[in-house]
Structure 1
């Protein structure tokens, strides 16, 4: 690509993500397609995403993938860092509070 030239928008009709997320694609070299969510700062926590690349995907040379490729990932989950307990009013006959 010539310097100063704006690359054409990349489409990837063979790419599917569920739950759906709007975003854009760009190539990094000839082997890596990068998907960037439209608002990556607001991906919900503890959410599993399933990604499918259809068998219709082709290489730069025109070779078809042949069968779908799937993978999944999960956004960070909550993690309990500390807990403490006490009895209400300090009495043994009261509920324990965590």
Structure 2
């Protein structure tokens, strides 16, 4: 069910990659497969830890992509990489919905 939910997020126009990051800063699952998944997850987890609070969501825009995350719970983060053509508002909404549905899968 979790993998199907992640594939549904990938159907959003402009979203290129999705990962569920666990408390050990490693991807629990990602789609499509990415050889850099562990490095991306570790960097994102590190950025998340720099905050004084536990951020519910974060966004970084680079020249190549937009990275968006939404916290599933205190131990897991759902992260997507999207193109600049993506509708950021729609991507945020879909990501938030997926994170809350993933929480219900426990």
Q: Please, what TM-score do these two structures have when normalized by structure 2? A: 0.27
TM-score normalised by L of structure 1 = 0.29
More strand by share: 1
The structure where helix makes up a greater share of residues is: 2
Higher relative contact order (CA 8 A, sep 6+): 2
Larger radius of gyration: 1
